[in-house]
Structures are given as structure tokens and as C-alpha cells.
Structure 1
């Protein structure tokens, strides 16, 4: 029981660290009220700039990655240390206690946890998700595909009920937080990937 509580605390507290909120304060922009209203990489990118958005994404991935590795270092014999800490980091990112439990949507932290647990699976889900984003032209394709496939593949790899249930919990949170983007995509209001990439990373004449 002690190991579980410590892993939850490590993951949650590290997960609450919000580079998006810090950048927002520096730039005098309240990202909880501007843009999408989420304290995450995408809203930072839209409201502050792609470089700051990339920085937020990197840090959000890193914090979950390090949280998982720290827990595994502390409890090397506790096989659930990584997945419990990873799930808690996602919860901390989405529901930070010191910001009235209003954070980001958890995708980057979700990715960081998967990267720490199964690097190969992370690369597969990222590549597949990015490919689907380009095909369907909507950013919601990545979180939805990763959310659906992660517990299936991870569960098949581990074949452990407790691990599978925690993975399902993580994925369900990601899917729920991004569900509104499906409605936006149907209405043509979700972020269009190809247009965004062309505008921000295409060749300038």
C-alpha cells in the first residue's frame, strides 16, 4: 500500500507542474481564458507561438517520463510502479490542485508515460497518430488513436489485469478530455493539420 501511495504522489505532484501556466504569466496571457482554455502545448502554440508550444510539449513529456523513471528507481521490485505513476502524472496534468483542478488535456504527459514504459510502443503510436492526422486533417486523430490502442497493445504485451485496468483508466481520461474535439472536427472547427503545417513550416516565398 505504501508503494502505491508514494507512486501516486510522485506522479500527481510532478504532473501538476505547468510550463504553459508559467509561460502564460511571463507573456501576460491567461491561457485558461484565451484560445482553447487549456494549459497545454497546443493552446500555448496557438496563443504564444510555436517555439513556446514546442517547449511546453517537451517539458510535459519529460515530466511524466521522469516521474515514471523515478518511481521505478525507488521501487524496482514493484512492477506496477511505472504505470501507476504514469497514470497519476496524467491526472496531475489534467487536474492540478493549485489551479482549481483545471489544467491541460493530458496528451503530452500521456506520451511521456508511455515513452518511459514502452519506448517502442510510444514511437508506434506517435507515428500512426501523426499519419492519421495527415490523412484525416484533424489533430484529434492522434489522441483518439493513441487512447484506443494503448491499453489494447500494452495489455497484450503485459498480460496483467491490474496493468490493463490502469492503462484503460489513462486512455479513458485522454479520450474523454478530447471528446469535444470530435464534435469540432465534424463541424470543421478542429485544428486542421495540413493547413497548420503548411502555414508554419512550409517554404516561404
Structure 2
């Protein structure tokens, strides 16, 4: 019975995760966001293609859908161990490989943030403090998913009920951390291309968002990508 409940929770998380705000807004405007900008159906590309308001709104919706899945799963499937973690990671997979979009979705960072928010907002605050410092040092947004993917499983295991019992909604301790690590590995792998772009000089700096000559900067990056 537990296996059946976990399977249903995974399916629930996956199907909700596949609902992509950036893609939907792009379609409403008459285009496929995956054919513009970085080619990613996520909030970061939505900022580049459709502006900060749409991008930030998309990120918030991605966070909320993942958090909602993690909050609802234990309510729907009561008494099932690690159901929150399974549903949350499945939501990330649904966002990255959505059946509605022929399995070409986003990169899962905002959904990962939503999972952390639902588990315990204090865990998310700890991570945000670390990531803000790294962004200020390197001026690349991609440092967030790459470092967070490594840090999160350890924080989860140490601070969860398998460690100090710090986290409010953690259910699996180190077993739960192992499940969360699967989602983290996926997010990390989806951002490896960003490291190559940094090396090639084709990755946009975060400060790009506040530049007046955005078109010129974007043209420079796109020109480097052709080399």
C-alpha cells in the first residue's frame, strides 16, 4: 500500500510540475519560449525574452507549485513515509521533462526552491544567504543551482529529523535527503551547460538585467556563441 501511495504521489507531483508558466505566457503571446533566448522554458529565460515582471512572476509560480505539491502530498496520502520528498522531487522532474511539452521544459531551480520553502522556510533562508553572497562575488545567476545542488542534501540530512530535528516538514531524515539529492543532481546536470558558456564568454552576467545597452550585450553574447 505504501508503494502504491508513493507512486501516486510521484504521479501527482510530476503532472503538477509539468505546468509551465513561462511556456504558457509565451504561447499566449504567440511564440514558443524554447525557440528564443537561451532556449530554456524557465523563469531566467523568461526574464531575457519577456522582461523582469513576467520572469519573476513565472519564478514565483514555479516556486508555489512545487511548495503546494509538498504541502498537499502528506495531506492526500496520510501516513506515508517520505511522501513529501517523493512528490517534491517528482514535481522537479515534471518541470524539467513535462509530458505536455514533449519533455522539453525548464531547469528546475525555482521548483527546487519551492520544495525547500515547503519543507522549512528557514532552510531556504540559509541557502539564500549563501547564494546571494556567491552571486555578489561572481555576478552569475548560474552559481545558485550549481552550488545549491551540492549543499541542499547535506543541509537537509543534518538539519532534518535524521539529524537535529530542525526542519518542520521533513519526514525522511537522511533517507529523505537521498531522495532530495536525486532532484538536486537533475538540477545540477541541467546547468552544466552554463559552466561551458562561462568558459566561452557566452553566459550573461546577472548585471545584464540592469544595463541600459541590453541589446548590445545580448548581441555580443550571441556573436560569441557562433564562434
- Asked if TM exceeds 0.5, the reply is yes
Match of 1:203 in 2: none
Match of 2:220 in 1: none
Match of 1:193 in 2: 206
Cα distance in 2 for partners of 1:95, 1:23 equals: 18
Q: Which runs of 4+ in 1 moved over 3 A?
A: 197-200
Aligned Cα root-mean-square deviation (Å): 1.6
Pairing 1:36–2:38 present: yes
5+ residue gaps in structure 1?
201-205
Check whether the contact 2:45–2:55 (CA below 8 A) recurs between aligned residues. Answer: yes
Deviation, 1:196, is 2.5
Cα distance in 2 for partners of 1:199, 1:82 equals: 44
Cα distance in 2 for partners of 1:75, 1:57 equals: 27
Match of 1:63 in 2: 65
TM-score (norm: length of structure 1): 0.92
Deviation, 1:100, is 1.0
Cα distance in 2 for partners of 1:132, 1:194 equals: 14
Cα distance in 2 for partners of 1:84, 1:199 equals: 44
Pairing of 1:124-143 with structure 2 (within 5 A): 124-143=126-145
TM-score (norm: length of structure 2): 0.83
Q: Secondary structure at the match of 1:32?
A: helix
The structure that has the greater radius of gyration is: 2
Check whether the contact 1:139–1:190 (CA below 8 A) recurs between aligned residues. Answer: no
Deviation, 1:89, is 0.3
Q: Secondary structure at the match of 2:75?
A: helix
5+ residue gaps in structure 2?
163-172, 214-227
